Each structure stands twice: as C-alpha cells, then as structure tokens.
Amino acid sequence: MKLKSKSLEIFIPGPAGRLEAKYYKNPKFGSPVAIVLHPHPQYGGTMNNRIVQLMYNIFLENGFSVIKVNFRGVGKSDGIFDNGQGELSDAAAALDWIERQNLDYSQCWVSGFSFGSLICMQLIMRRPEVNNFIALSPQPNVYDFSFLAPCPTSGQVIYSENDELVTKDSIIELDNRIKSQKGVEVNFSKIKNSNHFFKNKEKELTLEIEKYIKEKTALI
C-alpha cells in the first residue's frame, strides 16, 4: 500500500521524556483519529508488534489519522516501566498529541492489544471525547476491570476461542459487566481456533475489525 510509506517516525513529548512513535496523517478534512497501544513491555511488547501494526494499518486504510507509540522504556522512548500507571499517562500524551495535530477530527478512537487493551480501556474512563474503542485479547483474569463502572463509550472487544492466557469465565464476566450498562453497546467477537496472539488468524481478525470500523464510521 502506498499510504503506508507516508507514515512518519516521530518523537512526541511524554510525562517521562520523549516517546517514540509512528504517525500517519490523513489529508482529508475531518478525518477520525485513532491511537494503538502495544502489549506488555516486560514480555517483549513494542509498537512493532505484528498485531499492533495490523491495527495501525487497518485504521490508516479506513481513513483515519493514526498513531502508535512505544511506552516509556521501550525502544527509543525515555523512562522505565511503571506498572501501568505511567503507561496510561503515556497513552494520554499520545492522544493529546494526535488531537492537537488534527483539531478538525470527527471521531476519536483508542485501541490496544493484550496489556495495551487494559490501558486503552482505562483511558476511555478519563477521556470523554473518545467515541469508540477496540480492545484485543484483554486479560480480565489477570487485571482488574472493575473500573469500568460504568463503561462510558461503545466499543468492540475481540478475544480468542483458545486463549491460553485468559479464562473463558473471565471473558463472560467482563461481557456481562459491560452489557448491564444502559446506553453503551460493546460488541464481543470471538476468533475461532485462535490463541492469545491470533497466530495464523490475521485475516479473520482483520475482517472483524474492519467490519466494526466501517459500521461505526459510515455516518461521518
């Protein structure tokens, strides 16, 4: 895709110093904006993760201005791992930055994979301008999602049928927790015969994400 070559390698200001990022600006006025957040830094997670790159490309190819960022201490980003609190601040800084670069944006989306999905869902609690979220492979048996009280915006959760890191009961519990809230629609989508990392299921994952994005941006 020619569009991908227009992505810029950049550094943005973060609370612990500069953050390494990759950014694509859609030239169309009023384009939606999105951020993509990567898996756990202490288990090899970076913005170059293949699922993070897949999400970044999907947003780019569907008319978004999009940024993915390395959390503090990852790659060329300054700072050290901060057990989620600092990483949430890093995500907020990335959202601040892309909003400033796109003052005319029509929608604001946040997304994340694994640990990044936790940060994504924490971020939506703090940022009322967020219209939608996409959380891939959340781990409600590892992290406490009780902060979603209530979940402030609609979104999509995609999980794997055979996730070796997540219990089925914890996904069902998370689904029930969010479904019980009025005015918010969160779609839970299952990728069959897939593991936590969606190995060999990139095509199915792409179709699921694109279907949701096209539905929610059709009115822009």
Return the domain boundaries, the chain: 2-217
Average pLDDT for residues 16-45, to the nearest whole number?
Answer: 98
Q: How confident is the model at residue 182 (pLDDT cuts 50, 70, 90)?
A: confident
Mean pLDDT of the chain: 95
Query: 10 Å Cβ neighbour count for 123?
Result: 21
* Residue 2 pLDDT > 50: no
DSSP state of 28: S
How does strand 108-113 pair with strand 132-136? parallel
pLDDT at 124: 97
135-168: per-residue pLDDT in tens? Answer: 999 999 999 999 998 899 999 999 999 999 999 9
What is the number of residues in the chain? Answer: 220
CA-atom Rg of the chain in angstroms? 16
97-125: per-residue pLDDT in tens? Answer: 999 999 999 999 999 999 999 999 999 99
Q: How confident is the model at residue 220 (pLDDT cuts 50, 70, 90)?
A: low
39-62: per-residue pLDDT in tens? Answer: 999 999 999 999 999 999 999 999
DSSP state of 70: P
pLDDT at 74: 98
Query: 10 Å Cβ neighbour count for 166?
Result: 20
Q: Considering the entire predicted model, what is its pTM?
A: 0.96
Give the distance, in angstroms, between the CA of residue 172 and the centroid of all CA atoms in the same chain.
21
d(CA 131, CA 58): 17
Average pLDDT for residues 15-24, to the nearest whole number?
Answer: 98
3-state helix, strand, coil in the chain (%, to 5): 35, 20, 45
State in words which class domain 2-217 has.
Answer: alpha beta
pLDDT at 5: 57
